[in-house]
Structure 1
Amino acid sequence: MNDWSLPRQFAGESPYSTAAQSTQSKTLRPRLEDADTVGTSICPFCAVGCSQLVYAKKGRPIHVEGDPRSPINQGTLCPKGAGTLGLLTSPLRLNYVQYRAPHSTKWERKPLDWAMERIAQITKRTRDETFTHTLPDGSAVNHTLGIASIGGATMDNEENYLIKKFFGGGLGMVGIENQARI
């Protein structure tokens, strides 16, 4: 017997039916039925801030789509945003800190707390060693040329403002730049 809806309709089923059904389509289930959690997120690829819905099963993401409640993207995602699931689930993604000591030829796995403390200590040491209070003519500058910051395209205006205030005003960095070109 042919399983297409048109032959079935000619065989006596309602000719007004617009539902094409087959044996296979009757067994299909909604693709997100297995999700046990739905969370919200922000797309990581640019500073627009598109909202996303992240569907997960047993703590692992299985699907990402635009959040229709968002006034920014209204449920849509650009091609980069639509690729967020690949970013989250790639077998090449590192989910831990890798450290290579000076002059070493190998990488070591380190705890995140260790890495954050090391970054803070090196930043403080470098700032203290390179900080200039005044120029030779006596002009106050209170800055360091020993460290700098470069931001990424995912930072929005508010984040850049805070970075400028903290790094420039707090640490005295002069070299603060943002790579906002995508």
Structure 2
Amino acid sequence: MSTIIAGQFQLQDETDSARAALQEAGFAADRISTFFVNPAGQHGVLPLGGDQDKSPGAKETDAGLAKGMSAGGALGAAIGAAAIPVAGPLGPVVGALVGGHVGSLYSFSHLKEAGEPEEGSVANQFVPRESGMMVAVALPDGDDGSGAVALLRRLGASHIERAEGSIENGDWRDFNPLSLPALVDPPA
């Protein structure tokens, strides 16, 4: 494992220039990686595609739906039981079904608004990596990375981050696009 410094660029030409500048600065070509980070949700982490098995904001949907259905069903059955003289013996059954349906619809009023992060979710903690070209360099042992960070800043990189990993033959093998990036503080 090595310390890796990576920066984001928007254009392929910029990544090519950054790769050449890193090599001119003495970094080995096989320890420099350039690649494209897909937009959030398009990393194909799961077998059927996507990054998450459940939509953000839908974490408590199952529990809320069950709670709404049971409360509505119980209330509907009670009302249906009171209506036995008018509706007959099916009153409680129909009341429970209608009450369960209305209760489940009510539970939807507790869903998160579009773009509103869930409490305690990763979305509350950081902004995910933006889509774009990345240039990453594995630092030699003993290098604190300040030269690589300064060079990437000078070349116009954004979202410069520090990570631990392995770059072999120009491939950052253990890069995880969903990991929490450790952004380098902006210059003073």
Q: TM-score normalised by the shorter chain: which range applies?
A: under 0.3
Normalised TM-score (structure 1): 0.24
Q: Which structure: greater strand fraction?
A: 1
Q: Which structure: greater helix fraction?
A: 2
Larger relative CO (CA 8 A, sep 6+): 1 or 2? 2
